[in-house]
Amino acid sequence: MSDLLLRPLGPDDEAQARAAHAELAADGFDFLHDERPGEPWAAYVERVEGLRRGVGLGEGRVPATFLVAEVDGEIVGRASVRHELNDFLATWGGHVGYGVRPAHRRRGHATAILRGCLEVCREHGIEQALVTCDVDNVGSAAVIEACGGVPDGVAPTAESVAAKKRYWVPTGL
């Protein structure tokens, strides 16, 4: 497997990122957070960077680092690292969210993405990262456990959220 690079979204990523967004929409997964129809790509990239710095946060949002995962010049997945937890994230969302495009699954990319995200968590002073996954997502649970995740029960189904397995993952801080 080639080296996976986690990096910020850039101005040249539009075609691949929009393709990934369309692919993962079939799974009910938003590759691009808060994408606004008709928003110019440069404005979207700038807005995502602002969210990392805590600028322009909507109600209930926390600062977060959005990264794409690239292998050999191709975007294979993405990650979001929340710098802190609000009530929703502390129950269902966690510090880290990640996804891998369907054609690139089962190649170790998700594990590499999560490991990279744990480094970002460390940079933000997070000692234990909360990482969650749908209760029926066996692959994601295996990734979290491979990265040292310690099970912390299941957050029940809520109004618009499926039940989630919860894990605490040491960041090495």
* Burial class, 51, CB count within 10 angstroms (exposed 0-12 / middle 13-18 / buried 19+): buried
pLDDT band at 79 (very low <50, low <70, confident <90, very high): very high
User: In a 3-state reduction of DSSP, which class is residue 100?
Assistant: strand
- Supply the pTM of this predicted model: 0.93
Backbone angles phi and psi of 107, in degrees to 5 = -125, 10
pLDDT band at 2 (very low <50, low <70, confident <90, very high): low
pLDDT band at 1 (very low <50, low <70, confident <90, very high): very low
Sheet holding 74-82, edge to edge: 4-8, 64-71, 74-82, 96-100, 128-134, 164-170, 150-155
Q: Which two tokens stand for residue 136?
A: 């029926």
The pLDDT tens digits of the residues spanning 9-52 come to: 999 999 999 999 999 988 888 899 888 889 999 999 999 999 99
- Residues 6 or more apart in contact with residue 37 via CB below 8 angstroms: none
The pLDDT tens digits of the residues spanning 119-171 come to: 999 999 999 999 999 999 999 999 999 999 999 999 988 888 889 999 999 99
